[in-house]
Amino acid sequence: MPFRNLLLIAALVLAGCTAATSPSSRVDETRVRMLLTSLAHDSMQGRRAGTESAAQAARFIAQHMEEIGLTPAGDSAFHQRVFAARVQVNGRRRMMVVPDEAALDTVPESDRIYDANVVGVIRGSDPALRDEAIVVGAHFDHIGIIEPVDGDSIANGADDDASGVVAVLEIARALRHGPAPKRTVIFVAFAGEEGGGIGS
């Protein structure tokens, strides 16, 4: 998705969120560009699930959720741990979620995946509706390091799906700094989508 389309989508979504916006809730092109280029930067090494680069991306997203003022909703602050294993399915290596860390005891170390979704919440303001929730999410992982294409082996994943994560953060910012939503809104940056949707 071209950068201008991302800005347009974010602006349209945010326009529908609130009639009166504060300066901190407006989409800022510089901030959007910084978030997108940071998540898709070569230093993130393509954010492959279960790698240190995915953990680095998760920390980056959590930091921004905290700066926005979201309430942490993971099992470890903003991080919701996800445990998975690499398995053979129909001749292909896939990731499979396991119920907990103990389930990895029988999995070879090289096939264990430790990852984390990043989850923040804005609690609904209406006592009658706050127990209903709306989830706004996108996956933050990508495919990591690949066979070089024109000398570049890092699959940066700007459109798959760093741009979606940026949209989630911008929607969170708009809702956090605008009129409080009546229903609870849960913001999730999912881990492991590229390997089979393990985070979701």
Residue 26: pLDDT band by 50, 70, 90 thresholds?
confident
What average pLDDT score do residues 42-63 get? 95
Give the span between the Cα atoms of 46 and 118, in whole angstroms: 17
For the domain made up of 3-80+116-195, give the CATH fold.
Aminopeptidase (3.40.630)
Is the distance from CB of 109 to CB of 22 less than 8 angstroms?
no
Instruction: Read off the pLDDT of residues 112-165 as tens digits, 9 standing for 90 and up.
Output: 999 999 999 999 999 999 999 999 999 999 999 999 999 999 999 999 999 999
Is the distance from CB of 165 to CB of 61 less than 8 angstroms?
yes
Has residue 35 got a pLDDT over 60?
yes
| Contact partners, residue 78, CB within 8 Å, separation at least 6 | 61, 62, 65, 66, 70, 72, 118, 119, 120
Computed over its alpha carbons, how large is the radius of gyration of the chain?
A: 18
| Contact partners, residue 131, CB within 8 Å, separation at least 6 | 124, 184
DSSP letter, residue 105 = G
% of residues, the chain, pLDDT over 90: 72
**Considering only 14-28, 45-59, 158-172, 183-197, which range has the smallest mean pLDDT?**
14-28
Beta strands in the chain (DSSP E): 71-72, 79-89, 92-97, 112-122, 133-139, 145-149, 152-154, 184-190
Whole-model pTM?
0.85
